């Protein structure tokens, strides 16, 4: 598939998907959502880690409000159900780690696109904004799901109601993102991070994602049973054998992936 609104690069088991509408602050339109969905589904079979980032000074400014004409013509329910949900589910259900390298402003659906990823690394000059109430809407694109789980009820409610910018450093302090990195070091840092993930035990990573996510719905008994099940599966992999052998031989492990 030829991509017009994103750029896709695959090297050393790392797929980097760059939102590529810098003149529109990488706003999400119908074509970009379709291209993101296709790229993620394609790369989950080829890469060992997937990165989302933005071209230019912004990560993503959210929904392109000019995409469907006037506000009266926009069927938001259909757009969320038919276009956003498949894209967000593809990120959330991806069997390999997903990383958002937030290089600038992440607003509205753009903020929640980042939060859909497993790990968010942001440059210190970036900011996150739940902008929805500014135009009479509620947070969407998964915002009401991810925010309370990441920052708690009080901060999620304040972020949604006041619609004020949250700096990357504050987002890090709140637990909304993994880390905020100086602008000068940002690119080299996230690239080193994803390189480490790409060389790691891919099956174990997938099971880590499942275990942590399911813990929000499980009681202790169910969660302990899930841990035992997933650990049993990991214990049968070549990666486990290699990890133990490398530990005993005091050398770095060389994981096969899948």
CATH number of residue 221's parent domain = 1.10.12
**What pLDDT, on a 0 to 100 scale, did the predictor assign at position 66?**
81
**What pLDDT, on a 0 to 100 scale, did the predictor assign at position 69?**
57
**What pLDDT, on a 0 to 100 scale, did the predictor assign at position 190?**
97
Sheet holding 58-60, edge to edge: 58-60, 105-107, 127-129, 166-167
Phi, psi (rounded to 5 degrees) for 64? -75, 100
213 in the same domain as 182: no
120: which residues sit within 8 A by CB, 6+ positions away?
99, 100, 102, 114, 171, 176, 177, 178
Range of the domain at 81: 6-198
**What pLDDT, on a 0 to 100 scale, did the predictor assign at position 229?**
96
**What pLDDT, on a 0 to 100 scale, did the predictor assign at position 71?**
58
CA pair distance 48, 59, nearest whole angstrom: 22
Low-confidence ranges of the chain (pLDDT < 50): none
**What pLDDT, on a 0 to 100 scale, did the predictor assign at position 133?**
96
176 in the same domain as 108: yes
217 in the same domain as 239: yes
Specify the DSSP element, H or E, that contains 56.
Answer: none
> Does the residue 110 lie in any domain?
yes
| Domain final position from 198, 214, 235 | 198
**What pLDDT, on a 0 to 100 scale, did the predictor assign at position 65?**
84
**What pLDDT, on a 0 to 100 scale, did the predictor assign at position 232?**
96
Closest to 177 (Cα-Cα) out of 124, 240, 242, 256: 124
Residue 177, both tokens = 């993102």
231 in the same domain as 105: no
């Amino acid at each position: 598939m030829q991509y017009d609104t994103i750029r896709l690069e695959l090297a050393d088991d790392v797929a980097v998907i760059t939102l590529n509408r810098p003149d529109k602050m990488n706003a999400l339109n119908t074509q970009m959502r379709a291209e993101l969905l296709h790229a993620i589904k394609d790369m989950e079979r080829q890469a060992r880690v997937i990165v989302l980032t933005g071209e230019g000074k912004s990560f993503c400014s959210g929904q392109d409000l000019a995409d469907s004409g006037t506000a009266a013509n926009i069927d938001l329910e259909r757009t969320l159900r038919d276009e956003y949900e498949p894209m967000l589910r593809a990120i959330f259900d991806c069997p390999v780690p997903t990383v958002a390298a937030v290089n600038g402003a992440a607003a509205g659906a753009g903020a929640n696109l980042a939060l859909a990823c497993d790990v968010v690394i942001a440059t210190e000059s970036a900011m996150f904004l739940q902008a929805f109430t500014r135009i009479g809407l509620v947070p969407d694109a998964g915002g009401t799901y991810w925010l309370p789980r990441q920052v708690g009820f009080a901060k999620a409610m304040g972020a949604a109601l006041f619609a004020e910018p949250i700096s990357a450093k504050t987002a890090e302090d709140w637990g909304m993102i993994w880390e905020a990195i100086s602008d000068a070091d940002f690119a080299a840092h996230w690239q080193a991070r994803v390189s480490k993930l790409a060389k790691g035990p891919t099956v174990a990573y997938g099971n880590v994602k499942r275990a942590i996510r399911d813990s929000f719905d499980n009681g202790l008994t169910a969660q302990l049973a899930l841990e035992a099940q997933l650990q049993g599966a990991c214990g049968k992999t070549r990666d486990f054998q290699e990890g133990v052998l490398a530990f005993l031989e005091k050398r770095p492990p060389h994981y096969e992936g899948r």
